[in-house]
């Protein structure tokens, strides 16, 4: 994923465009929540040597907020570096040069967006449509699946991941999953709706993997 693709993803999913607050660094773009003005991502153009690379070529990077346990695992993968110019315990730098997997970059943007939301905004709405519920569970399913792939131990040590796991487990066990699955079988769901969470084997295998030592 390059800089343009990352900015497009954020714009299309969250409706946020970058702000450029530094005249001395016109290519440093900050992405904020409208409600609390907190950053959830910042894209910068810096020398590779500032990341510990053996060259001075300019490179686009993106800093996102990340779970501390996940940071250790990600730093062992191509395209990830200790957060440049930010708290290295809670943020990580991603090279926007195609070296990091696109799905992982999108997942980390989503995680950072969720981690920096105002607390009141993190509560699910009182009334939720069927498609809204499926979309929310799909996001939990994808996030937990990525966490298992990167560092399963992070799930038991991260309150937000634990909350997602509890809601996904309840969804699977309390009959809501079956209602949504049957609605899909009747052709009542939009064709463009992402619905991997409605795969019984997919959810079962994920929950089984998480519960294994």
Question: Contact at 8 Å (CB) between 43 and 61?
Answer: yes
- Residues 151-183 pLDDT 10s: 766 677 777 777 888 888 888 878 888 899 999
Which DSSP string corresponds to 140-171?
A: HHHHHHHHHHHHTHHHHH-HHHHHHHHHHHHH
Looking at 15-152, list the stretches that DSSP marks H as alpha helix, in order from N- to C-terminal side. 68-74, 102-115, 130-151
- The conformation of residue 125, written as its DSSP 8-state character, comes to P
Q: Is the pLDDT of residue 121 over 60?
A: no
Evaluate if residue 191 carries a pLDDT over 80.
Answer: yes
| pTM confidence score | 0.60
Give me 38's structure tokens.
Answer: 């907190």
Task: For strands 91-95 and 58-65, give the pairing.
Answer: antiparallel
State residue 154's pLDDT score.
66
Rounded to 5°, the CA angle 38-154-181 comes to: 90
Q: Does position 122 have pLDDT exceeding 60, yes or no?
A: no
Residue 154 CB partners (closer than 8 Å, separation 6+): 67, 69, 70, 73, 147, 161
Report the pLDDT value the prediction gives residue 18, as an integer from 0 to 100. 94
What pairs with residue 182 in β-bridges? none
Which pLDDT score, from 0 to 100, does residue 40 have? 95
User: pLDDT tens-digit profile of 129-142?
Assistant: 889 889 888 888 88
Q: State the pLDDT at residue 27.
A: 92
Residues 209 and 207: their CA atoms lie apart, in Å, by 5
123 falls in which pLDDT band (50, 70, 90)? Answer: low
Q: How many C-beta neighbours within 10 Å does residue 132 have?
A: 12
Percent of the chain topping pLDDT 70:
92
Q: Check if the beta carbon of residue 60 is closer than 8 Å to that of residue 67.
A: no
Q: Tens digits of per-residue pLDDT, 82-99?
A: 999 899 989 999 999 999
The pLDDT score that the predictor gives to residue 80 is 94
CB 124 within 8 A of CB 106: no
């Amino acid at each position: 994923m390059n800089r343009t693709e990352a900015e497009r993803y954020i714009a299309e999913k969250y409706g946020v465009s970058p702000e450029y607050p530094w005249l001395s660094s016109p290519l440093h773009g900050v992405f904020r929540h409208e409600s609390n003005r907190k950053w959830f991502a910042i894209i910068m153009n810096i020398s590779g040597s500032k990341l510990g690379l053996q060259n001075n070529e300019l490179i686009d990077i993106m800093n996102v907020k990340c779970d501390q346990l996940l940071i250790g695992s990600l730093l062992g993968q191509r395209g990830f570096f200790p957060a440049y110019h930010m708290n290295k315990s809670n943020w990580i730098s991603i090279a926007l040069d195609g070296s990091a997997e696109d799905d992982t970059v999108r997942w980390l943007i989503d995680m950072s967006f969720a981690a920096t939301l105002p607390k009141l905004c993190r509560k699910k709405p009182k009334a939720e449509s069927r498609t809204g519920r499926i979309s929310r569970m799909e996001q939990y399913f994808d996030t937990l699946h990525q966490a298992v792939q990167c560092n399963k131990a992070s799930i038991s040590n991260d309150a937000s991941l634990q909350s997602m796991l509890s809601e996904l487990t309840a969804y699977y066990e309390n009959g809501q999953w079956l209602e949504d699955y049957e609605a899909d079988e009747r052709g009542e769901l939009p064709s463009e709706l992402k619905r991997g969470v409605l795969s019984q084997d997919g959810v079962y295998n994920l929950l089984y993997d998480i519960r294994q030592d």
